[in-house]
Every structure is written in structure tokens, then in C-alpha cells.
Amino acid sequence: MSNANDFEPSIVAFCCWWCAYGAADLAGISKLDYPTNVRIVRVPCTGRVDALHILRAFEEGADGVIVAGCLKDGGCHYVDGNMKAERRVTGLKRSLEAIGLGDQRLEMYFMSAGMPDKFVQSVTQFTEGIRKLGPSPIGRK
């Protein structure tokens, strides 16, 4: 098992095409720094992210999962996909807590395509949180 000091978490981020992925893209163009631990999966809308996708990521050994979508209250390109995703994430966090994985390994963030700073800040904060928590008890395959 790796030392706590050199633990590099692997984090899966489901980012929506219209906002969060745009923000990540803009962060890249603006040459902003953010942790390389984040693997971005582009989805058409966070409403597309199924609870099974998230569970599957944990099963395959992700230490943390981010779902990042558009701003609340009408920011979603598909009207309310991000709100659906938020309810799913809330429900799933409770299940993850109950099975003993903890509810801090899954988080939902909201941002618009013009907010690269928000994206960088969110993923940095989340990665640091996971780094403190340590590797996922499920381990890697």
C-alpha cells in the first residue's frame, strides 16, 4: 500500500458539455493550473449521469467522483437536467455513507461555461479533500 505522502488520488469528473466542460476548456486556454488527478468524462448533460455510472467508477477504483453541471435556476441547457442530477447525487451520497464508503467521495458542483476559476477552485478543493481522506477502501483493480 502506498505511503500517505505520495498518494495520488484518481478522480473521475462527469462534466456537462454546455457548462462544466466549457469551463474546463476555458481553464486550459487561460493556462490555469489544476490538479492532474482529475479525469474528465464529457456527458451531454449531467442529467445523463446514471447512478450506475458513479457506482461503476467507484467499483473500478476511483477515489472520488465529481459531477459538474450548469448553474442552478435555469442555467441548464436542457431546462432541469442539473437539478435531476443533484437529487440523484444527494440520494447516492446517502447510500455510499450507509455502505461504509463515506459521503465525501462524491460531490456535485455548478458553474457556467464562463467560470474557469470556479472549475479550478472546485476540483482543487475536492482533490485536496480526497488526498486527506486517503485512498478509496475499495482499492484499484
Q: Minimum distance between the CB of residue 3 and other proteins, rounded to whole angstroms?
A: 15
Residue 11: in which H helix or E strand, if any? Answer: strand 11-16
Nearer to other proteins, 34 or 78 (CB): 78
Residue 31 binds other proteins (CB under 8 A): no
Taking the CA of residue 102 as centre, how many other CA atoms within 13 Å lie in the half-sphere pointing to its CB? 13
Residue closer to other proteins (CB basis): 29 or 99: 99
Burial 72-92 (b: 16+ CB within 10 A, else e): eeebbebeebbbbbbebbeeb
| Min CB(127)–other proteins separation in Å | 22
Contacts of residue 87, defined as CB under 8 A and 6 or more positions apart, other chains included, come to none
Nearer to other proteins among residue 77 and residue 124 (C-beta): 77
Give me the least distance between CB of 88 and other proteins, in Å please. Answer: 5
* Amino acid of residue 80: D
Using CB under 8 A as the binding rule, the residues of this chain from 61 to 90 that contact other proteins are 84, 87-88, 90
Residue with cell 441547457: 77
Q: Given candidates 56, 79, 114, 128, which one binds other proteins under the rule CB under 8 A?
A: 56
